[in-house]
Amino acid sequence: MFNLPPVRVIDMAREFPHAEIVGMDFVPPAGINNMVDLPSNCRFEVDDANESMAHYEQKFNVVHVRSADPGINDFESFLYEMARTMRPSGVLLLCTAIPVCRPLNDDHCAISDDAFPYSK
């Protein structure tokens, strides 16, 4: 699991006690050193997703990546590396969003995209 809040990784470990849950990010998760209630099937690692993931080759049934794309230099290589980490028939879940702020009209509805031709 890349870039998930530590509490979500811990929740997954508690919900699936039979699974090994690895939370990974570019930086150490805040507050984990103080957590004494970390499930035994859960661990956190710091790794650079721009580098090879050969050390995780075919280790996971499910890989969940959330909002990691801003830190990825070569997305095609990143996808290849994520695919390498999965066992046969593994699942890759990618979640990302680009927030778009729109002003509201008098009815508190977002103004249409037509008013923002530069956003297309």
Consecutive H or E run containing 46: strand 42-46
Predicted local distance difference test score (pLDDT) of residue 26: 78
The Cβ of residue 7 has, within 10 Å, a number of other Cβ atoms equal to 11
> Is 1 inside a domain boundary?
no
Predicted local distance difference test score (pLDDT) of residue 44: 87
> Is 59 inside a domain boundary?
yes
Blockwise average pLDDT, block size 10, the chain, 120 residues: 70 93 81 71 88 92 84 89 94 79 64 54
**Domains in the chain, number:** 1
Range of the domain at 75: 6-119
